[in-house]
Amino acid sequence: MVDTTAETIARPKLRQQSLLVELLETGVLIAAIYALVNLATVRFFIDGPSMEPNFEAGQFLVVSRVNYLLGSPERGDVVVFNAPGSDNDDPPLIKRLIGMPGDTVEIRNTEVYVNNQRMNEPYIKEACRESRCRDAVWTLGPNEYFLLGDNRNNSRDSRAFGPVPGERIVGEALIRYWPPSDWGIVEHYRYPEP
């Protein structure tokens, strides 16, 4: 026999917030996330052929500012930076990091050598013409980096303006997000250890 006179146990009621408070909290959360993302990253627009065939004009990238706050740039990174001698009105550039602080970078017979070792560069568009890759030597100081475009025959890079001080580097290219057909992680070439 079932006792139907048993008391029903009352459950505590949850305090419900008004719709306005919920919307306000959601708006503040969205604004905070947006601000953090914008502090940690920048969006970059590829404008020109200097990084072909790996990056095409019209593509958009997400560039991490945080990577170089937590660590140092590495040879092979694709970085966005402000060229030496440029002002705030000049757009930043994107290039591949070839030379690290203390390195000697040399162009010899259109080939790139770092510390007397010929660089294996499978990512470049084509062999550099002699008119664009004249023999030259750069010895990098502390906190100086040597940056070259992947399209050596059509790139304004460290061959023109010299080594780039570390404080001019904005960040590391991480993600290609536009156009949708090109979505993906930016692949970084890692050079073998000498």
Quick count: other Cβ atoms within 10 Å of Cβ 148? Answer: 25
Please give the pLDDT value at position 1.
Answer: 55
Tell me which of 183 and 189 has the higher pLDDT: 183
Class of domain 44-185: mainly beta
R_g over Cα of the chain: 26
Quick count: other Cβ atoms within 10 Å of Cβ 50? Answer: 22
Please give the pLDDT value at position 6.
Answer: 57
161 vs 34, 35, 83, 84, CA distance in Å?
Answer: 35, 34, 7, 6
Mean pLDDT of the chain: 90
Residues that are catalytic:
50, 95
Using CA atoms, how far apart are residues 133 and 146, in angstroms rounded to an integer?
14
Domain chopping of the chain, boundaries: 44-185
- Rounded to two decimals, the pTM is 0.82
Q: List beta partners, residue 185.
A: 175
Taking 70 as the threshold, does the pLDDT of residue 2 lie above it? Answer: no
